Amino acid sequence: MISSLLIANRGEIARRIIRTASRLGIRTVAVYSEADAAAPFVAEADEAIAIGPAPARESYLGPEKILAAARASGAQAIHPGYGFLSENADFAQAVRDAGLIWVGPKPASIRAMGLKDAAKALMIEAGVPTTPGYLGEDQSETRLAAEAARIGYPLLIKAVAGGGGKGMRRVERPEDFISALASCRREAAASFGDDRVLLEIYVTRPRHIEVQVFGDSHGNVVHLFERDCSLQRRHQKVIEEAPAPGMSDDVRAAICAAAVKAARAVAYEGAGTIEFIADASQGLRADRIWFMEMNTRLQVEHPVTEAVTGQDLVEWQLRVAAGEVLPLRQEQLTLSGHAIEARLYAENPDTGFLPSTGPLTHFVLPSQGVRVDSAVEQGGEVTAFYDPMIAKLIAYAPSRGAAAARLAEACSGVRIWPVKTNAAFLARTLRHEGFRSAALDTGFIETHLTALLGDAEPGEKVLHAAAQARLAVHHTPPGLLGFRLNAPPRIELRLQSGGHIHNISLHPPLPPPPLPTATHGDETIVFEAGRAFAFGEVTADDTGHGAAASDGAVLSPMPGHILSVAVAKGDTVRKGTPLLVMEAMKMEMTLSAPCDGIVEDLNASPGARVAEGVLLLRLKTGD
């Protein structure tokens, strides 16, 4: 077994690897950027080495810095986690050349599956069914547009070096193809250093099903059954589960056999995932499931597979890397029960799921009934430098319904402030009738978005809880009213929340607040079903009419950098017109005109870095 392990990653996956390694008696070494100096994974490792500034390209994406840390610490092996350098074949080879153990597949396997077009060609040769489309060498706009017309719309443009939903665009109409292609290429170049693309048919009722595979250096390959990852937003997975609902034994046998065949085609070693797209318009059928790509690493959603198989996949990785035979043969692996994972993101569903950054002044995650893999703790901070996922919540139960109910309850119990999260959104999704009946496809969230978002304004129960908490903690003057005979007194308060004024009436005697609350400075925070509402006293500056109307200002929603500007000073635009594109927290976003107007005060230029709340431009809206 490996004696010492350097973890070339951060956050929850670094903590996850440390847990298993520590249980096996393996000494762990963390590497960290300046932004992560106080992060939990740094404290939990046996040794930690600083490797550079906060931006990933200056720290976690620096192969030489990580190799230097391995040499300095005397580490025997390097585990890349997922993301960052985990699928970088050159880095894997450099680790091996340095005389270290690489906890992952052979560099040749990574290269074979790293480019989507080459991987598809290899799978066709191996007899694995693949999605129809175009993966040719001619990357000219003319050829790609012609191939798109041949394939038909809607279709998908995908970066050949892509992954994690980056460099992927769905195109509905021919007239949108060229602009979508340019955006896809730009994001692919920024994320992977390769702007080549392939085209695929877009399945109208697609389900995303993947199979966990494992191979060793002795020629053994097994699968650990499938996961369903159909619930996605912007091609990013949100909720994953195992096994896939509605999967019959014969279809499972077919898809898992195809996955093993794919892994054998590249002499695969270690943990990998074969991803398939399934046409669910007629249920799950073996002849309507196609290979999409292979992820040559551990997946974010690996805990659901661990739950239904009873195996520790990180331990499997470490044993295979050490040259051992796979811990179990195929016939020894069994499925039991159902597991569902929800990704808790630092983002605000009410503003189009824009990432949310800042200190975690109040941070409470559920502690009973679910597994929690968290990247942060109370007192920490969510920065703009890395992925906005702050934790994973995983529920296991004998049945799918019981697992969903348990996970929904856990998501409702999340209490985080002032950083916004998608906890309430997750809880609503898990309780939605369409999810409970397994009417799933990758468009589920978009189709049901209005119902899943719910009401952003506080309801009566929240308002009463806020008022009662203010009275208990801040001793707000009660203002007793109604001294008429036989008329009970009442207490009236005016509280401000989110730019809105709320007039609240309470009738003594007052029961305890019906919802969890917290006090931070002059604010009272009320938590309801995963949401957090902050209340303060009404000041002289408050108008009592709610938030002010837009003055045409377009502000940076978070720290990031400008990719492109589509307008010039003096241009006339209509409400909804795209103004500029910016990138933040690994996500590209388009900022549109909030109203009709003429562009003035244009302060944005391509390549510029901007902080949160910076005025990018202002629209003159007229009299």
Beta strands in 453-489 (DSSP E): 480-481
SS3 content of the chain, % helix, strand, coil (to 5): 30, 30, 40
Cβ(277)–Cβ(230) below 8 Å: no
Token readout for 89 is 């074949």
Token readout for 126 is 């191996």
Cβ(616)–Cβ(555) below 8 Å: yes
| Residue recorded with tokens 């494992």 | 214
Alpha carbon separation from 329 to 215, 224, 249, 316 (Å, rounded): 11, 10, 19, 12
Counting beta carbons within 10 angstroms of the beta carbon of residue 542, is it exposed (0 to 12), middle (13 to 18) or buried (19 or more)? middle
Alpha carbon separation from 84 to 11, 47, 164, 386, 518 (Å, rounded): 12, 21, 12, 10, 37
| Residue recorded with tokens 């605000």 | 348
Residue 371 annotated as catalytic: no
Coil, strand or helix at 523: strand
Beta strands in 172-220 (DSSP E): 197-201, 206-215
Q: What is the DSSP string of 265-327?
A: HTT--EEEEEEEEEETBTB--GGGEEEEEEE-S--TTHHHHHHHH---HHHHHHHHHTTPPPS
Cβ(370)–Cβ(405) below 8 Å: no
Cβ(34)–Cβ(50) below 8 Å: yes
| Residue recorded with tokens 């996955």 | 259
313 strand-pairing partners: none
Q: Which one of the listed residues 252, 297, 400, 618 is annotated catalytic?
A: 297
> Which residues are known to be catalytic?
297
